[in-house]
Amino acid sequence: MDPQDEKIVRERQHARAKVMAWLLGAFVILVFAISIAKMQLAG
């Protein structure tokens, strides 16, 4: 694999990592919001 191919692979991995980070963050916020809503309904 030449250096240019490695650069392309690294860029794809970086882009995939960013997407996964955004999805994980959105999931955490969603779970937090659901928890808050349930506490307000119960209280």
1-43 pLDDT tens trace: 798 999 999 999 999 999 999 999 999 999 999 999 999 998 7
13 is written with which tokens?
């991995």
Determine the Cα–Cα distance for residues 11 and 21; give it in Å rounded to an integer: 15
Which is it for the CA torsion 29, 34, 36, 37, positive or negative?
A: positive
pLDDT at 43: 73
Q: What is the pTM (predicted TM-score) of this model?
A: 0.75
